Amino acid sequence: MAITALTGTRVRERRLAMGLRQSDLARAVGISGSYLNLIEHNRRRVATDVLARLAEVLDTDARVLGEGAGGRVLDDLRAAAASGMATPEIDRLEDFAGRFPGWAGLVAAQHIRLGALDRAVTALNDRMTHDPHLSHSLHEVLSAVASVRATAAILAETDDLTPEWQGRFMANLHGDSERLADGAKALAAHLDGPAAADPVAASPQEEMEAWLAGRGWHVEGATGAELAGMSEAGRDLSLRWLGRLRAGEGLIAAFRDALRPGSTAGLVICDASGTLTFRKPAEGFDLPRFGAACPLWPLYAALAHGRPVEAQVAMPERRFRIRAFAESRWPEGLSGPEVREAAMLIEPSTDDGPALAVGTTCRICPRDPCIARREPSILRE
């Protein structure tokens, strides 16, 4: 155990906090009062056995007396000092941490907590800013509110409104209030609902995936009539995928087992930008609802290199066997643009061998350190 220059200071602080006289402590520990006095003024190095007895009488841990606040706490205090919120005495940092380890720990912990909250706010802000479906829902609500406000003001403030205009504006108000109620419900469902259990699909892709999940991801016997409750965009997308899944060509053909009744395998397909365009989840392998997925997924290795990839991967809770490959098409002929996709089959694995540690998406991935992390996780403390 390292015994630092401030051990005596910590002994003195602890003794005074307990209301002990120097002579009483010296007697209890079995050393002379003058020796304890030298120790407390950091003028004598404390022997390990004496420190242990001091700690016992002072009802604390010898390491706390010997080492004081750990290097980690000092690092966190320095980081807190660098935040610019105040101008603390940096040159007395170690003295502060040594004299008041409890307060130092609290300041350090609050600095860490503040950082975590900052990241959480950033993540929520990102969601508000970049989620197109949330943005659309907010736009709907604000537009309805704008209309209600303008119409209600006309009704309330126009004394000579003719019955015809009055009826017209009342009808508008009624229509807008219904639209507002629907928009508010959709917004609340979107904000409250976890990805897997969202009762209201927020995007065409989520509508399509919710429909397929309801059918056990099995499209045999599916009809267009089943899509009646969807938005137009959700219906179009579902029909397009229904055609692809039925045709069973290319990527779909290779991994069609994932779409057989009762299959527990997950299947993910992405386009050349890496955007996930098809997400059949596997239990324990969470798929991101928003933003980009974990860059270590073999899906992206297949997409980048164009060759099949087979790998064992470890999610925080479970292991999986992954097979992935990419495919290119030239719908407008070889002189036209290449349309590239990659698919990844996710099967539960019991293999205990080496596995690539992966996550869902950086924002909610607790793995630290991670060689591919692109942004801090909001789950890190």
Tell me the closest approach of the beta carbon of residue 148 to another protein, in angstroms. 8
Distance in angstroms (rounded) separating the CA atoms of residues 272 and 343? 11
Partners of 329 in beta bridges = 339
Cβ distance to another protein smaller for residue 172 or 349: 172
**Residue from 18, 82, 85, 146 that binds another protein (CB under 8 A)?**
146
Element (H, E) at 321: strand 319-329
Contact stretch for another protein (CB under 8 A) within 51-59, 64-72, 142-150, 348-356: 142-150
Structure-token pair, residue 264:
């527990």
Chain positions 264 to 293 lying near another protein, rule: CB under 8 A, are none
Cis amide prior to 369 (ω within 30 degrees): yes
Contact stretch for another protein (CB under 8 A) within 14-22, 169-177, 232-240, 314-322: 169-177
How many of the chain's residues bind another protein (CB under 8 A)?
23
Tell me the closest approach of the beta carbon of residue 326 to another protein, in angstroms. 34
Contact stretch for another protein (CB under 8 A) within 42-50, 148-156, 199-207, 235-243: 148-156
Please give the full DSSP string across 52-119, using - where no structure is assigned. Answer: HHHHHHTTS-HHHHHH-S-HHHHHHHHHHHTTSSS---GGGHHHHHHH-HHHHHHHHHHHHHHHHHHH
Tell me the closest approach of the beta carbon of residue 136 to another protein, in angstroms. 9
Cβ distance to another protein smaller for residue 157 or 352: 157
Q: Using CB atoms within 10 A of its CB, is residue 232 exposed (0-12), middle (13-18) or buried (19+)?
A: exposed
Residue 154 touches another protein, criterion: CB under 8 A: yes
**Residue from 22, 60, 147, 312 that binds another protein (CB under 8 A)?**
147
Cβ distance to another protein smaller for residue 180 or 301: 180
Distance in angstroms (rounded) separating the CA atoms of residues 182 and 379? 33
Q: Using CB atoms within 10 A of its CB, is residue 326 exposed (0-12), middle (13-18) or buried (19+)?
A: buried
Indicate the pairing of strand 309-314 with strand 319-329.
antiparallel
For binding to another protein (CB under 8 A), which residues are involved? 129, 135, 138-139, 142-143, 145-151, 153-154, 157-158, 165, 168-169, 172, 175-176
